[in-house]
Copies of this chain bind each other. A is one copy, B any other.
Amino acid sequence: MRRKLKVPIPKVSFRRFSEKSKADQLIGQAPGTLIYTGKKTTDKVEMEIFSYNEEEIHHHRSEDLSEIMQGFDGNRINWINIAGLSKVELIDKVGQEFSLHNLLLEDILMVDQRPKSEDFGDHIFFTIKMFHDRTEFGIEFEHISFVLGKNFILSFQENEEDIFGLLRDRLVNSYGKIRQKKADYLFYRFIDTIVDNYFLVLDSLAEKLEELEDEVMDKPSNHTLQKLQRIRKETIYLRRSIYPLRESINSLSKSENPLMEMETERFLSDVYDHTIQIIESMETYRDLHSGIMDLYMNMASNKMNEIMKVLTIMSTIFIPITFIAGIYGMNFQHMPELGFTWAYPAVWVLMLCVVIGMLLFFKSKKWF
């Protein structure tokens, strides 16, 4: 199960990150104590290993780590994908198998960890957020981690959804250069795939903004407002997840670790370019959002003006002539006008004059 940015209107959770921080469990714990902070909705963990070189590829799938490790071949490149983080003891075992630092394992399990890369010498750790755009529920975040070693890549997903399907197909079918390259190239392809995916989320954001702008111009309502607030919150969370990426991908692309080949670094600096472009888009959408908010406010204010105008025109036209009618509804015995034959039509004429006068006044004020 994936954590959701709970954004079905009107209920939206602000505790997107903190809700699951389980901060109270962590307080006072020794550093590196492993606690999974995501939603433990299922205990199922799926693992698979791809062990390949240019000639051949072996694939095993199991829920047992020792079976997976039997497929590991030190002379080939081994990609182990672990989908599901709820079994903390399994992650612990993986850590022992590959001699990973406890703080690294903590970061894998801490689903609120901000994107970062860390160089441990004989392996490189990288963590990033995957976005899933569930239109009806808003954007869902998934915490993805990678460990790149000399001849292996570990990938950790929060759930079993197949986000690297295209890469798996290319691997299996040896399409492109992917089987001829070292582990760092696959590592780069993972990151590239996730970052390219961000463009999809941005497209969807742009589309929603566009619809909302139309709605604001056409018939703004409280509902529009709530949708705007929802977008705003999604944007805030997206920015928070994407911003640190700039720094972490940059440090990757300038890594001096021999695990990273020159060519991969060139590719990574291309990913870095995309990250900058995504961040600039985020800023653009932020600006556009605040533009729509301004528009909304001014449209509402204009609507108010229009309503008030109608009320004022109707009132100021009818109030004086109703008064005139009231005058001649009085029951005084001595009201000479009442007896005059021409009085009634004269009152009509008087009223007409008042009405025309008021209309001319409004005309002069440019009220219509």
Q: Which residues of A contact B (CB under 8 A)?
A: 10-15, 17-19, 21, 23-24, 26-28, 30-31, 103, 112-114, 116, 166-167, 170, 176-178, 188, 192-193, 196-197, 199-200, 202-203, 206-207, 209-210, 213-214, 217, 219, 221-222, 225-226, 229, 232-233, 236-237, 240, 266-267, 270, 273, 276-277, 280-281, 284-285, 287-288, 291-312, 314-316, 318-323, 325-335, 337-341, 343-344, 347, 365-367
Contacts and interface: CB of A to CB of B under 8 A. Distances in A.
A306 B265 CA distance: 59
Given A21-B199, A200-B24, A210 B332 contact: no
A17 to B, nearest CB: 7
Contacts of A14: 206-207, 209-210, 213, 285, 288
A233 to B, nearest CB: 7
A239 to B, nearest CB: 9
Nearest to A218: B10
Contact of A273 (B21, B116, B302, B320): B116
Contacts of A15: 203, 206-207, 210
A353 to B, nearest CB: 15
Copies in the complex: 5
Contacts of A193: 27-28
A69 to B, nearest CB: 28
Contact of A199 (B18, B31, B113): B18
B320 A23 contact: no
A215 to B, nearest CB: 11
Contacts of A113: 277
A319 B319 CA distance: 8
B18 A202 contact: yes
B318 A314 contact: no
Q: Which of A170, A293, A305, A310 counts the most chain B CB atoms within 10 A? A: A310
18 contacts: A14-B210, A14-B285, A18-B202, A19-B206, A30-B177, A31-B267, A113-B277, A114-B273, A229-B295, A297-B301, A301-B304, A303-B305, A308-B308, A311-B315, A330-B344, A333-B339, A334-B340, A335-B344
A318 B304 CA distance: 21
A14 B203 CA distance: 9
A335 B196 CA distance: 80
A368 to B, nearest CB: 12
B291 A229 contact: yes
A330 B308 contact: no
Given A301-B297, A323-B321, A331-B330, A23 B200 contact: yes
